[in-house]
A = this chain, B = another copy of it.
Amino acid sequence: MTTNKPRSRGRPRRFDPDAAVVTAQQLFHARGYDAVSVADVTDALGINPPSFYAAFGSKAGLYQRVLDHWTGTAAIPLADILRPDVPVAKALAAMLEEAARRYASDPAAGGCLVLEGTRCNDEGAREAARALNLGAEAFIRDYIAARHPEAADEVADFVSTTMSGLSAKARGGHDLPRLLATARLAGSALAKTLPA
């Protein structure tokens, strides 16, 4: 159920902020935080700067809302993939493959929105993306540690590094088959390190 807006007084706004967040997410994902200007966003939305700032406060504020929306819709469902009833190595391999699929799914927006966001030149936006990423990495590490405590740190780093590499390569033009093959090769390395 979408939260009904507590009908306000005054002039009604001529655009839907939630839809605007979706549009902004596409822009940020396709070009990266730095390369998207506020003017790009307002042009895409057909609004003027004051409307933008009334709704989102700042460019970084919009980015926060994009990250929030992304978390609820486009993030890899780690809790579904990293299941307790599956061998850890197998679950992590499935996660890498899923990452490959998502990073290549939109040819106009390669890579992971969050991982790419951790590399931008605005401190606020960068730290917001980093915080999200650190949370995901901690989740992965904890999942490994539950059954392989001695290898958790190393394996978690390896998996995170591979995902960063996959995102970078997706951005650099690698298509689904290449990303998938790379993810599978990385995944096969886990079977040896983490015996079922």
Chain A positions near chain B (C-beta within 8 angstroms): 32, 34-35, 115, 118-119, 121, 130, 153-155, 157-158, 160-166, 168-169, 171-172, 174, 178, 181-182, 185-186, 188-189, 192-193
Contacts and interface: CB of A to CB of B under 8 A. Distances in A.
B182 A157 contact: yes
A44 B35 CA distance: 26
B160 A169 contact: yes
Given A168-B161, A169-B157, A169-B161, A121 B34 contact: yes
Contacts of A164: 164-165, 168-169, 172
Nearest to A160: B169
A178 B153 CA distance: 9
A118 B161 contact: no
Interface-centre pick from A118, A162, A163 (highest chain B CB count, 10 A): A162
A189 B194 CA distance: 12
A5 B185 CA distance: 52
A194 to B, nearest CB: 11
Contacts of A172: 118, 130, 164
A174 B168 CA distance: 17
Given A34-B34, A164-B164, A157 B174 contact: yes
